[in-house]
Amino acid sequence: MKPFGKGGHIKRIFFWAAGFLTIVANAGLALGDPASLFEMSGGEMVFSQRAQFYDAEVGGLIPLPIWASGKTPAYFHFFVVGNVISFDQPATPSTPGINGISDQSYVGVIPAMGIRIPASWGFWEGDVGGAFFNVDQTLTPVQSILGVYLQTELFLNAVGPGSLDLFASYIGEIDYLFGMGRYALDAGKTRSGSVAFYAGPEAIVQGNNTYTALQGGGFLSADVRPLHTIFTLEAGILNSSVWPGIGGYEGASFYFSY
């Protein structure tokens, strides 16, 4: 299965939307408050148990006068995300396959917006948008669906010696839930102080009514301050609902903001 094959028009929609948002964000930042931020991110995650996940995002955060915590304002957050979710599973009467294997992929684009509320302990964010996806399954016609997208994040900057980041999202129609928790500890910095490292454990749960996976592992992040970018590597073990035994996963991502 080729993730961007039959869903080629979704790819074009995503790149058009991403380009449009980039222009809007840069125009808004050029005219607006210097506290505004442009952001861009991307990442991948691969399972040994025959699953792959890819995402890319572009967006911005614009300060709002409604609330502030110290010098940190509340933000209006707008973004577009492109997603590819692809996994194989043993064929069943309800999920037909070839040579005993059923391939499924979800390829789509998600425009969304929301509010980030700061506090002395960190921040909370809530976002809502639309999810436009192509669903491609072995021996089944490709379906195009539209559903709601919900996202929330709670960041606690002082939980014991580290910080706690809790993130969750929901894609309607395909009923896909994703939840992640990370506990980050200081892991040193370069002599010049231009790169700071953070590391810690993570736990992830994701899936829908046809596929679920539980993951546990760790991550290492490098905050490269001259580049305004955080690079992250993650790895661990997992168990899925469709393959027996314990597998492994690895992931890599970046987050740029300026």
Q: What is the CATH number for 236? A: 2.40.160.40
- Span 35-44, average pLDDT: 92
- Span 148-167, average pLDDT: 97
Q: Classify residue 153: in a domain, yes or no.
A: yes
Quick: pLDDT tens for 63-117.
988 888 888 899 999 999 999 998 887 777 767 777 778 888 889 999 999 999 9
pLDDT above 70: residue 33: no
Q: Classify residue 2: in a domain, yes or no.
A: no
Strand partners, 174: none
Q: What is the pLDDT of residue 7?
A: 45
Identify whether the C-beta of residue 62 lies closer than 8 Å to the C-beta of residue 46: no
Q: Classify residue 213: in a domain, yes or no.
A: yes
Q: What is the mean pLDDT of the chain?
A: 87
Give me the domain span that covers residue 223.
8-257
Identify whether the C-beta of residue 256 lies closer than 8 Å to the C-beta of residue 234: no
Give the total number of structural domains in the chain: 1
Burial class (CB in 10 A: 0-12, 13-18, 19+), 82: buried
Quick: pLDDT tens for 106-120.
899 999 999 999 999
Q: What is the pLDDT of residue 2?
A: 34
- For the chain, percent of residues with pLDDT exceeding 70: 86
